[in-house]
Amino acid sequence: MPTTPEETQSRGFIIPIGGAEGKGRKPKILQRFVDLCGGEDARILVIPTASLLNETGPLYKELFESLGANSMCVPIEDRDECFKEETLRVVARATGIFITGGNQLRLSTILGGTPVARMIRSLNANGIHVAGTSAGAAIVSEHMIAGGRSGASPRESGVELAPGLGLTNRVIIDQHFNQRQRMGRLLAALSFNPFACGLGIDENTAGFIGPDGMMEVVGNGTITVVDPSELRHSSMSYVRRAEAVTLIGLKLHVLASGSHFNIETREATLD
């Protein structure tokens, strides 16, 4: 379960981004994140653990500074660094945390269960905003899609799941959604856990999920919301390996920029 906030404090925003977010002139999603975190007073911590590229962390640090924020980069490369007091001191100072893209399993195996992961959960519960792009988006939820098949239809063995950071247990997130044809693996993930909603987030698109559970869609693409709350039948438990899965009773929304979805009430609304 997500960490419970202190009685007088609202949760911070959770901002999953579908990857390939605009970084050029007037990058709408990243600028909005900076403004949310305090603008010129923002202290944005970049965590590039998922990436194997040395330049990823410094690139985002420079980008956030060009947007008017103060920024730090913590290149956490192994679990031991997550236990160091200096690392924890840097994380604790952030007004916003940004988790870059790369390999989801690097995030879960290096950060999962460490003091850094627990601190991120606690900070978000007490008002600090957390954004992630691509792999960084997938890990914000309790259940993380770590891999799986491309394609439109769900299949047995079509998705690999791993524990995420658990900032929310209300959604399961997939990224690069329409660009990489990931509807099938999102549906397969939901067949295992129909409690959560599925969010399929396109590139250069983000969901700004507020402390009240209201998500606003921002960006050039769409967020495909799959609501399994009225799921009446799933064949996942008895189909043979790699066979197609039957799912009856799903509800689907396709939401472009300015649309809203309440992850608590499962209601979609226009701007």
The whole-number pLDDT of residue 9 equals 78
- Phi, psi of 65, rounded to the nearest 5 degrees: -65, -35
Tally the C-alpha atoms within 13 A of residue 73's C-alpha that lie toward its C-beta. Answer: 18
- Select from 234, 267, 269, 271 the least CA-distant residue to 250: 234
Q: Side-chain half-sphere of 68: how many Cα atoms within 13 Å?
A: 14
- Which CATH code for domain 14-259? 3.40.50.880
**Domain boundaries of the chain, sorted by first residue:** 14-259
Structure tokens at 169: 């247990």
Residue 239 is predicted with a pLDDT of 96
pLDDT of amino acid 6: 63
Q: Strand 14-17 vs strand 129-133: parallel, antiparallel, or unpaired?
A: parallel
Give the per-residue pLDDT at 105: 95
**pLDDT at site 18:** 98
**If we measure between CA atoms, which residue out of 4, 1, 9 comes closest to residue 168?**
1
Which residues are catalytically annotated? 134, 176, 203
pLDDT in the model for residue 271: 79
* Alpha-carbon gap, residue 236 to 254, rounded angstroms: 25
pLDDT (0 to 100) of residue 3: 67
DSSP 186: H
The residues of the chain scoring below 70 in pLDDT are 1-8
CA dist., res. 68 & res. 77, Å (int): 28
The CB-side HSE value for 38 (13 A sphere, CA atoms) comes to 18
25-32, long-range: CB < 8 A, 24+ apart: 27/63, 27/67, 28/218, 28/219, 29/204, 29/205, 29/206, 29/218, 29/219, 30/63, 30/64, 30/67, 31/67, 32/208, 32/218
